[in-house]
Structure 1
Amino acid sequence: MSDLLVRVGHVAAVLAVVLVAAYLGRRAARAARQPEVIGEILAGILVVPAVLAIGGPDGLARVLPGDVVGPLKTLGQVGLVLFLVGVAHELRHGKSGLGAKAVGWVTAGSFVPALLAGLGMAAWVLLAADPDLRGTAPAPALVLMVAVALSVTAVPVLARILEDRRMVDSPSGKLSMAAAVVTDSVAWVLLVVAVGISGGVLVSLALLAVGVAVTVVGRILLRGKTPMAAAERFPKSTGLAVSALALLLAFQFEHWGLTAVFGAFVVGLALPAGPWTTVVRPVTNLGRLLVPVFFVVAGMGVANAPRAAVPWAAILIALALAVVGKIGGGYLGTRLAGQDRRTALTVGVLMNTRGLTEIVVLQAGYSAGLLSVQLFLALVVMALVTTAMTGPLLSLIERRARVSAAATRELVPDLPGGRP
C-alpha cells in the first residue's frame, strides 16, 4: 500500500512539474508573439532532455522510472484523445461561408502539392538517405506517413491565430480555415491507413468501415429528442459519458492495430451541433490541460537520439519541401480561386501552420514504428519551425501592404470631391 502511495505521489509530482513547464512555455510563447502551443510543445519535449543533461541517465531513471512513465504515457494519451474529440467536432461543423469552387481550388492547392512534396521526401529517404533514417517500416507505410506529415495543417492553432489577429471574417481567414478542415480530414484518414498497413490493408479497411458506421449511426441516434434534451439539461454528466466512450473506442481501435486518434475522431464526428457543442467544450479543455504530458512522452523519444545522429540534411529537406508545398501550393490554389496576390500569399502562410496536429501525427507514426527516431526528430523540427514562421510572415505581409498603400496615396493625388 505504501509503495502504491509513493508511486502515485511520484506521478502527481511529475505531472505538476509538466503542467508548470507548459504554463511557463505558454507565457514565453506569448511574450515572443508566437502561438501558445509552440511554447507547450517545446516545454514538454525539452523536459526529458533537460533532466538528462542535469542528472545524466541515472538522474533520468530516478525522476522517470518505468513505473512512472507508464501512467504518464496513459495520461498523455487520455489528454490527446479528449482534445481530439473537440478537434473532430470542429472539423465536422466548421463553415466558411464561401463558394464551393473557391474552397475547392484552395484545398487542392494547399493539399496536393504538399502531398507530392511528402512523396518526394519519402523517395529520398528510401533511395538516398542513411539506413538509420529510413528505419524498418514497410515502404508503402513509410511513403504514406511522410506524405501525410507534410500535408497537414493544424486547425486548432490556425483558428487561434485567426482569432488573435482578427482575421476570422477576412477572405484569407475563411479560405484557409475551410481548406484546412478538408485537408486535415483527408490527412487523418490517410494516417489511419498508413498505421494500419503494417497490420494488413484489408483489416485496416474493415476497421475504417466500422468507424464510419459507428459515426453515421451515432449521428442519427444523438439527433433524437431524448439525447438532445439530455445534452442540454445535463451537460456535465453527458460530457463524462462522451469522454468515457471516446476513451473506450480510442484504446479499442489501438488494440485492433489502428491509432487511438481514430477512435477519438469517430466520437467527435458523431456528435451533432447544438447543445452537443456545449458538452464537447469542457471535454476538449480537459484534454488540452493534459496534452503537455503527451509531449513529455514524445520528448523521451527525441532524447534517445544520439547527438551525432541529428539528421541535419533531413531537417533542411523537410523544411524546404514543407514550405514550398504549403505556401507555394496555397498561393497557387488561392490565385486560381480568383483572389488577389496578398490574399493568396496570406492563405499560403496560414496553411503552413502545423503545430499540435503535426506532432500528434508524427507521434502516431513513431509509436507504430513507421518513423525512425532520426526521421521523427527531423519532422518535429520542421513542424515547430513552420508554425513559428507564421506570425512573423503575416506581420511582414501586413507591413508591406501598409507601405504599398502609403506609396500609392503619395503617388495618386486626391481629386475634387475627395475621391482618389
Structure 2
Amino acid sequence: MTDIQIFFAVGIALTAALFLGELVGRAGEPVILGEILAGVALGAYALEIVDPEGSFALLAAIGSMLLLFDAGYEEIDVQQLERGGLPVLIIALFGVGLPAVGGLATGLIFGYPMITSLILAITLGVTSIGVTARTLLDLDQLDTEYGLHVVGAAVTAEILGLVVFSLLMATQQTGASTGQIVRILGLVVAFFVGAFLVQWLLIDRISRLLAGSRQTGADMIGIMGLLFLFGYAAAAVGLDVIVGGLVAGLIVSSERRFRETEIREGIVGIAYGVFIPLFFVNVGAQMDPTVLLQFDQLVIAVVAVGVVVKVGGSYLGARLAGHPHEEALIVGVGMLPRAGVELVVATTALAAGLIDERLFSAVLALVLVSVLATPLLLKRAIRRTAA
C-alpha cells in the first residue's frame, strides 16, 4: 500500500465508521458495532479498501494502545485491581481453562493431531480485551467491580495464551531447548519487572522533569513517548502492544501530578477521533463473513464450543468469585470476544503448517460471531443489572 493509498483508506474508513456508528447508535446499539461492520465492508474479503496486514495495521495498533492506555489511566483503580487479585484469578482459571479444554477435545474429536488441537485450545481460551473494554467504556461501566475483573481476567488470558503459544512454537523448532523456553518466560517476567521499576523509581522523576519544561505540550509528548516504549517492549517480549498500552496507563495514573493535569483531555480527541475507530475497523477488515455460510460440522462445533463454554466457564468463575447472577452474566459475556491474539495465533499457525485452511476458517467464524455478538449481548446484560 502506497502513502497516497493509505490516506484514501484512512479517509474512507473514518467516514464509514462515523456513518455506520451513527446508524447503529441511533438504533440503540453500541457504536463499536458500526465501526467493526465498516471494517467488514471495507476489508480484505469485501471491497478491499482496507488492508489489515499493511500500513493500516500500524495505525490500528496505535489505536489499541491508546484505548487501553485511556482505560488504565482514567477508569482502572490500581489498588482496587490489586484487591481483586483472587477473583480475577478464579475467573481467568475457569474462563480460560474450560474453553481451552473444550478446544483441545474438539480438535481431537475431529481427528487433528495433538499439536493442532493445542493451538485450537489456545484460540478458544484467549479473550480480546479491546472489544470489551471499548463497550464498557462507552456504557460507563469499566470502573465497576465486574468491569475491573473482566479486564484483569482478559489480560491474564491474553498473556497466558501468547506465552503458551510461544512455548509451543519453540518446541516445534529444530533443536528447541530448555534454554529457549526459559528465555521466553524470562522476557515476559522482565517486562513486568521493568514496568514495576519504572513506576517505583522513574515516573515521579519523569513528572518533575516535564513539569519544569518550557516546551508546549511537554507532558503529552513525554507520556506518549512512554506509551510507545511500553508498546514496543510488550511486543518485543512476545506480548501484544495492547498490554503495553494498559501498563503505561496504569503507571501514568499512579503519579499524582499526571492524574491532576487531566492528561485524558489531550488524548480523547485524537484517540477516539482517529486511531481507536481505525483499530475496530481493522478488526472487522480481517473477518471473512462468508465463513458463516459454510455449514461445516467443524465450523459449527468450534463456534458453539467457543461461545457456550467461554461464556459458561467465565460465568461459573465469576459466581465462585462472589458475583451475583446478573454481574456474573456480564463477566461471562465480557470474556467472549476473540480478535487480536486469536487471529495472530491462527495466522501464524497456518503459515507454519500446524493447522489447515478448514480449521482456520472455523477460527475466523468464531472471531466474527464473538466480536459482533459481544457489544449487543453486553449491553443487554448490563441493562439487567439496572432493572
Could you say which structure has the larger radius of gyration? 1
- Give the match for residue 238 of structure 1: 219
| C-alpha distance 175-12 of structure 1, shift in aligned 2 (>3 A) | same
Q: Which residue of 2 aligns with 1:128?
A: 109
Alignment of 1:325-364 (within 5 A): 325-334=313-322, 344-354=324-334, 358-364=338-344
Distance 2:285 2:376 in 1: 23
Query: Is 2:125–2:161's contact at 8 Å kept on the other side of the alignment?
Result: no
The match for 1:38 is: 33
Counterpart in 2 of 1:324?
A: 312
Cα distance in structure 2, aligned partners of 1:263 and 1:114: 22
Q: Give me the CA root mean square deviation.
A: 4.0
Distance 1:17 1:356, change over 3 A: farther
Q: Quick one: percent identity of the two aligned structures? A: 16
Q: How much does 1:69 deviate? A: 5.8
Matched, 1:28 2:23: yes
What is the DSSP-based 3-state SS (H/G/I as helix, E as strand, rest coil) of the residue aligned with 1:379?
A: helix
Alignment-derived partner of residue 377 in structure 1: 365
CA displacement 1:298-346 (0-9 Å, x = unmatched): 44442396553772332222222233223344345436xxxxxxxx122
2:173 corresponds in structure 1 to none
SS in 1 for 2:287: helix
Mapped partners of 2:283, 2:295: distance in 1:
18
The Cα shift of 1:215 comes to 0.6
Matched residue type, 1:36: V
Which structure 2 segments of 5+ residues have no match?
Answer: 171-179
Of 6, 10, 15, the match for 1:15: 10
Verify: 1:293 aligned to 2:278, yes or no. yes
Equivalences, count: 361
* 1:302 counterpart SS class: coil
Taking structure 2 as the reference length, the TM-score comes to 0.75
CA contact (8 A) 1:109 1:331 kept: no
Q: Does residue 263 of structure 2 align to residue 279 of structure 1? A: yes
How far is the alpha carbon of 1:139 from its aligned partner?
A: 5.2
Deviation at 1:44, TM superposition (A): 1.9
Secondary structure of 1:34's aligned partner: coil
Worse-matched range after superposition: 316-325 or 225-234: 225-234
Contact 2:163 2:185 (8 Å CA) reproduced? yes
Which structure 1 segments of 5+ residues have no match? 53-59, 336-343, 400-420
- Residue 210 in structure 1 maps to residue 180 in structure 2: no
- Written as runs of structure 1 = structure 2, the 5 A alignment for 1:140-219 is 140=118, 142-149=120-127, 154-163=132-141, 174-197=144-167, 198-199=169-170, 200-219=180-199
TM-score, normalising length: structure 1: 0.70
Decide whether aligned partners of structure 1 residues 357 and 244 sit closer, same or farther in structure 2, where only a CA change above 3 A counts: farther
Conservation of the 8 A alpha-carbon contact between 2:38 and 2:284: no
Query: Partners in 2 of 1:185 and 1:253 — Cα distance?
Result: 13
1:375 deviates by 0.7
Determine the structure 1 residue equivalent to 2:248: 267
CA distance in 1, matches of 2:157, 2:41: 27
After TM superposition, the runs of 4+ consecutive aligned structure 1 residues lying more than 6 A away are: 150-153, 232-235
Alpha-carbon distance between aligned partners in 2 of 1:262 and 1:367, rounded to the nearest angstrom: 20
Residue aligning to 1:418 = none
2:345 maps to which of 365, 369, 377: 365
- CA drift at 1:229: 6.1
Q: Distance in 1 between matches of 2:267 and 2:295?
A: 40
Answer yes or no: is the 8 Å Cα contact 2:32–2:134 preserved in 1: no
8 Å contact kept, 1:176–1:351: yes
Distance 2:75 2:343 in 1: 21
Of 231, 250, 261, which aligns to 2:231?
250
Q: Kindly provide the amino acid, as one letter, of the partner of residue 388 in structure 1.
A: L
Amino acid at match of 1:183: A
